Structures are given as structure tokens and as C-alpha cells.
Amino acid sequence: MKTVIKPTLLALSMTMGGYVMASSTMFSDMINVEQTESASTAHWQDDKEKMDAFIGGLINQMTLKEKVGQLDLQSGFRNVTGPFINESYEQQIKDGQVGAIFNAYGADFGRELQKIAVEETRLGIPLIVGHDIIHGHKTIFPQSIGEAATWDLDAVKLSARVAAKEASADGIMWTFAPMADLVRDPRWGRVSEAAGEDPFLSTAMAVARVEGFQGDDLSQEDTIMATAKHFVGYGLSQAGRDYHTTDVSEHELWTTQMPPFKAMVDAGVATFMTSFNDLNGIPATGSKRLLTDILRDQWGFEGFVVTDYTAINELVPHGYARDDKHAAEIAFNAGADMDMVGQLYINYLEELVAEGKVSEEKIDTAVRQILEMKWRLGLFEDPYRYNDESRAEREILSVENQNAARDVARKSFVLLKNDNQTLPLKDDEIKSITLIGPLADSKFDMIGNWAAAGDRKSHPVTVLEGFKHRFGKNVKINYAKGASYEYIISQEEIDALQGIGVPRITADDSSLEKEMKRAIAASKKSDVIVMVMGEEQRMSGEASSRTELTLPGNQQQVMEELKKLGKPMVLVVMSGRPNDLRWADENVDAILHAWYPGTMGGIALADVLSGDYTPSGKLPMTFPRSVGQVPIYYNEKNTGRPYFANNPNQRQEHYKSRYDDSPNTPLYAFGHGLSYAQFDYGDIRLSSEALTVDGELTVSVDITNSGNYAGEEVVQLYTRQHVGSITRPVKELKGFQKVHFDKGESKTISFTLTPADLAFYRADMSWGVEAGSFDVFVGTASDDVKKASFELVEK
């Protein structure tokens, strides 16, 4: 297979009005850029005249109270992720006070709720039923950061497509995904739900997920509405602490944060979700600039905006609203159409209309946007179309879906280190394997966080089960848990921490000592040691930030003891973030990062560790050497005193941008990922040494698989502009191709660059290009590339 991301993807998503603009001091010519197809034409197969007539007539029949009810989103009782503040939502549905509901999956349960809305209210307006379908519904795929590590848009789109089929058969028609927050701080728990640190890759992943969830026609019964979240800047929460404030310059906002969201508008995403953070002093949920001026007026978004969980209420503790009533006024006038859980719209909007602080005309507009989505989902035609129990029985956890989850999982694994070809484990050479670690036989952890409807008890395949299935006939598996991710603290400290959700704490270390001894004994009997270490799934995700990135509990202590045995050691890491793996990198023979791999994770890991499948994942986020380097990312800018540790001609001066106790470089760079295959890159060939404003440049490189295994390689294209009207990053991802190579096969891989790919927000905030010299890089990782140079010239 071959996944190709053209360099123009990001450039097209960020052009203003279809043009790359030029300042008077740069190019005088306007460069036309083809606009994308409108969302309603591409994704919403409307009879618009019929829809407008129906919805207009319906709104004319509605009382103000019924209109406000359409703006209210209430929570059911399943998988609640915040304070459960309303136990009477069913009565509110009967009263016409609920337009949508979430945390309420199940074809039968959804039918019951829909029946109340359709058959027991005056106008019979059906409900939208939503749920957090983040990386699968019942068949769980890898965590989102793991899916991003595939660098395979077909795989990511398939994951979302399977999730949509299962969810839509189980009473759900709306998901709160994809999360497109760009992240640079691995302490933040929601890294696991993101696509990493790069705007180009994040944009591509976000669009693939929207297309997977919504398909080509939202009216088809096996599609669900997607949500672009969190708008915007949430991923830059200060100190890596969830819900914290963000302070983002205009250049940073438009260069790194906005591209995925603009691209999702162009892809026809149905809904947007506001973010919890304040952005430069204004909470996003109360920002008219974001929700109206940019999203609606500038970008032309046609769906509706929902807040995050109680985000309107939180305008008060933010210090932006005097009280709940004031918060409702601010959020609604800013452009937040639907209130998630907080009930402030149903409590105050009628009163605010009477006082002239909110216009009923604006309420009508918001109601129309919500009713249009109900029309496009086909709910007015058949409100029970998502409540077919027979379809649910056929679709959910089907063999086809589980096979898809297995394939995406093994594509997501990143081989970080593999000294002396320790991997793969060949069953014709190894007689026994010791498998240890708190995650080696944990069904609960396999599917990770945000697997809201996933079964944690029976369906996930653990690593131990996968090993027994793959190696059991020929290789003896000696299993011992061996280590724990529990924090060992005093009982007094435990008592002080009760009630704040700190995961896995214990005051008893006697059982840990016994487990470690079992692991040592088992390892003495085996040829190789495979350690499945990492974080309990609850240690990442919403409200799960950490101040340390090391493996928690006594896991490293156990690894240090096992190292003394002198046997080959393989570390499989499961977590939702980059971890501090310095000791492992220095002492372990091979390291495979598996994120949280999902329902079929154990089988997928056995596939890769045995060599039945060659790993092809690449890091979507930089792995620091320690938390002290955070934030660290590949597309940083240079300083006036750059420090190049690998440059032998540079004097080792003290007064440089450097650390006293660590190299500047990361432990593993963005784009890093090894293979059992061996990919040899030739030098870059350019079709010309100059690129004109109306031309294009072909960048080619010959690649040969000289190894003993077939495999896929992610060929990465980067550029660097040497001088600009603002300082420019040292590298920027502009394209990638995922290409399969047979053993011994050679291929020529080519990319096409145009001036639009080199455009950026210049000093005056205009979007365009500037003449000058550029480097272009092609390689296997951001820090392992070939380089060539060219000039961008006016004519």
C-alpha cells in the first residue's frame, strides 16, 4: 500500500479566500489556489429548499421555551466525565427541554429516549444522541496518539469508519471527536487523545477521522456526526496541567493551532466544541472572535457549536462572568449554540431575551443550525434509524472489525531501539520467554482511556494471551507480573490524597518484593526477557496530568534487577504519552512503544514481536530525555546563540543556548521509528535549483530495502527557509509517503513542492511567500535526513 500526503494539504487549508496573499515588499503577483468543495455539497446531500421549508415551518410553531430546549445537551448515566448534576433528564425530555443527549448508548436504550422525544412531546422533535467515540466504540482501536504514529491515513480513516458503523448501530449518531489540539507537553494527560506536535500531521489525521466518521453522505445510517475539538489552544495548557490557561501569540495561534480546525471545516465537519482554557485572557467558550468572527464569518462553518462539559458555568470561576446568568449571556452571544450539561441556557435564556440582552432571532438561528443537522441525519424521516438491534448484533465486534483493529494496532507500534537485531523473536531460535510487567496480562489497561463503551473485562486480548496464541506450541512462556505501577507512599499520604482521583497508590510494598522475586526466578529459566511496562490507563487522559515522565511504581527497579541476569531484554511500553526512557535506552536491548493498542492489542504485539509483521510506526511527538527539556519539539526556532553539539568546528562555549546537565537533543526525535527492514536513502535530486512563483519543484530520492524483511517506510519531507520577515523554524514537515518495499526492492520516491507549500504568516500577519534560499530534507526521521537546497525566486 502507499499512503501519500501531498505538500499542498496544509497550504490549501490556510489560504484566505482562495489566495496566497503577497505584501507590497515581496511578490507583486497574486498566486491563485484552488478552493475546496463546499461542505454542504460534498457531505450533506441536501434538498435544501425542502429542508428550509420544513425547518422554517417547525420553528414558527415553537415557543421560546421549546426553542431554548433545543439548545440544551444533557448527560445520561453512562461514562460520565464530569459532575453528574442532572438526574431528571428524562422528565426534561418530556418537557421539551432537551435537544440532545449523550452518555446514553445502546440501541434499545436510545429507542426509549427517542420515543419520549418523538411521542411524548408537543412537536415530536427527535433527539441527537452522542457519545465519546474516540478510538472505537465496542471494537477498540489504538489510542489516538497511537493511530497518529501509524502515519497511515487509510488506517486512521478505517478506524473511524468502523467506529461509526458500530456506534450508529448502537443508538449513537454523534461523536465528540476528533481532538485536534496540537500538543508539546507530555505532562498533559490528553496527549493520548491528540495527534502530536506537528500541524501538518495533525491536520491530515483530523481530516481522515472526520471523513471516516461522516463518510461521503451524512444521511447514510452508518455514519455519525464528527466534532472538531477543542477550539482552540487547549493543548498548550501551561505547566501541562489540564484545564489551565494558555497564552499564545497571533503567529503561533494561526501557524500551529488553527490549521487542523480550518481543514475540518473544509472537510464538512458537522459540529465544533469549545475548549476549557482561556486564550490570551478570554475563555474560548465566551470568545465571539473565535466562535463567530473566525469560525462562522471568516471560515463559513455551517454546523453548530457545542460547549465542553459545563464550560459555560466555568466562565464564572474564570473571572469572566459575574454569575451563571451573565455566563449564559456571554457564551450564547459569542456563538456557543448548545450548552453541554450546565443547564444555563434553559435556566436563563428566556429571561435574557425578555431583558433584551439576547435576541430571539439569534436563538432562531442557533435552533435552525441544530435542526438542520437532525434533518441531515435523517431523524425527521425515521427517528429510530439508529436503534436497530439486529444491525447492532451483526456489526458490533464483528470478526471483520476485530481484524481491522489488529491491523491498525500493529501499524501503530514504534520500534525505538533494536540493538544486535534482538527483535524479532524467532521461535525456531528461542525455547523460552519470560513475560513480565503490570501490563503484560491486564485486560483493563489494553484499551486505554477514552474507550468509553469498550468492554475491559472479557474482549481485550492481553499480551500474555497473544504470546500463548503465537508462541505456545514451540516456546515456553514463563509469566510473572513482577512489577507494579503503584506508587509506594505512606498511609498518612494516602489518607491525605483520598478523593482527588490519584491512581494506584499503596502503602504495602511486601507484595511488590514477592512479585519481583517471582520475575527474577522466571527470568533465570528463559532465553529472553520481555517486559511490558508503562502507565495504568488512568494515568493519562482527561484530568490526568503528571509532573514526572518516568515509569511509575517500582518498574525501573525491577528492570535494573533483571539486567543483572545478563540476558537479552525487550521492553514494550504502554502509555498515552512520551515517557522518560533514558535508563531503558542505555540498558535494554530493544524497545517497542505500543501506546494502548486496543481490543486486539495482544495479538498485534505478538505479530510484531515475532516478526510476522514488520513495525512501521513513527513518533508523532518528540520523546525528551527528561521532563526538564519540556517543551521540546522538532520544529523549534533557532536562537541568536544556537548550540550545535554535533558540530566539531564549534567551540564548546558556555554562553550558548544549552543545558549544563543534558544535551539539547531529544532521546527520540519526531518521526523516529525503526524497522526490521533496512532502508537506504540516496541523495536528493531536484528538478531545478530554483522555484518560481508560478512553478513547481520535484524532489526525488532513491530508496532501497537492503534488509532481510519486507516492510513499510514513512518517507518524510521537510523544508527550512533561511531568512524571513519573522524567524522561521529549523524544519517544517511538508509531506510524507508511506510505501511498502519488498526485500531487496528499490523505488524512486518523489514529492512536488509549490510556492503555496512555502507560505506562512509573515510579520504583518498576511499569508504568503517570501523570496530567498531554502533547504529541503527527505529522510526516515526529522533528525535523519538527506539535504538539498534551492531558491524561491519571483521570476
pLDDT digits (tens, 9 = 90+) for 679-713: 999 999 999 999 999 999 999 999 999 999 999 99
State yes or no: pLDDT of 392 exceeds 70: yes
Rounded Cα distance between 635 and 777, Å, is 13
pLDDT of residue 46: 74
**Mean pLDDT, residues 342-371:** 98
Sheet holding 569-574, edge to edge: 414-418, 590-593, 569-574, 528-534, 432-436, 476-480
pLDDT of residue 554: 94
Phi and psi, residue 3, nearest 5°: -100, 120
DSSP 578-596: ----HHHHHH-SEEEE---
Rounded Cα distance between 231 and 269, Å, is 13
Rounded Cα distance between 55 and 372, Å, is 7
* Cα diameter, the chain: 80
pLDDT tens for each residue of 41-73: 446 677 899 999 999 999 999 999 999 999 999
pLDDT of residue 90: 81
Considering Cα of 2, then 420, then 669, then 786, what sign does the dihedral take? negative
pTM of the model: 0.93
pLDDT tens for each residue of 537-574: 999 999 999 999 999 999 999 999 999 999 999 999 99
pLDDT band at 27 (very low <50, low <70, confident <90, very high): very low
pLDDT of residue 12: 45
**CA 311 to chain centroid:** 21
Find, among 673, 695, 163, 226, the residue nearest to 417 by Cα. Answer: 673
State yes or no: pLDDT of 489 exceeds 60: no
pLDDT band at 7 (very low <50, low <70, confident <90, very high): low
More confident residue, 96 or 652: 96
Taking phi over 0 as left and psi of -120 to 50 as alpha, with beta for the rest, 550 belongs to beta
pLDDT band at 487 (very low <50, low <70, confident <90, very high): low
| Single-letter amino acid, residue 652 | Q
The residues that are catalytic are 308
pLDDT of residue 792: 97
pLDDT of residue 643: 85
**Mean pLDDT, residues 83-106:** 80
State yes or no: pLDDT of 84 exceeds 80: no
Query: For the domain 398-610, what is the CATH code?
Result: 3.40.50.1700
Q: How many CB atoms lie within 10 A of CB 763?
A: 12
Rounded Cα distance between 74 and 77, Å, is 10
pLDDT of residue 531: 98
> Is residue 642 classed exposed, middle or buried when 0-12, 13-18 and 19+ CB atoms within 10 A define those classes?
middle
Find, among 416, 379, 440, the residue nearest to 622 by Cα. Answer: 416
State yes or no: pLDDT of 21 exceeds 50: no
pLDDT of residue 359: 98
* Sequence-distant (≥ 6) Cβ neighbours of residue 122 within 8 angstroms: 66, 96
DSSP three-state, residue 537: helix
| Single-letter amino acid, residue 379 | L
Residue whose C-alpha cell is 489518607: 495
Rounded Cα distance between 207 and 645, Å, is 38
**Mean pLDDT, residues 443-448:** 96
**Mean pLDDT, residues 159-186:** 97
Rounded Cα distance between 737 and 718, Å, is 12
Secondary structure, 3-state, 349-418: HHHHHHCCCCCHHHHHHHHHHHHHHHHHCCCCCCCCCCCCHHHHHHHCCCHHHHHHHHHHHHHHCEEEEE
Picking from 53-67, 328-342, 489-503, 626-640, which range would have the lowest pLDDT averaged per residue? Answer: 489-503
Mean pLDDT of the chain: 91
Picking from 313-317, 488-492, 523-527, which range would have the lowest pLDDT averaged per residue? Answer: 488-492
Residue 423 contacts residue 611 (beta carbons within 8 Å): yes
pLDDT tens for each residue of 582-592: 999 999 999 99
Rounded Cα distance between 97 and 269, Å, is 26
pLDDT tens for each residue of 230-267: 999 999 999 999 999 999 999 999 999 999 999 999 99
pLDDT band at 513 (very low <50, low <70, confident <90, very high): confident
pLDDT band at 486 (very low <50, low <70, confident <90, very high): confident
pLDDT band at 650 (very low <50, low <70, confident <90, very high): low
CA angle 565, 566, 567 (to 5 degrees): 95
CA angle 7, 12, 17 (to 5 degrees): 160
Phi and psi, residue 390, nearest 5°: -70, -35
Residue 301: DSSP 8-state = -
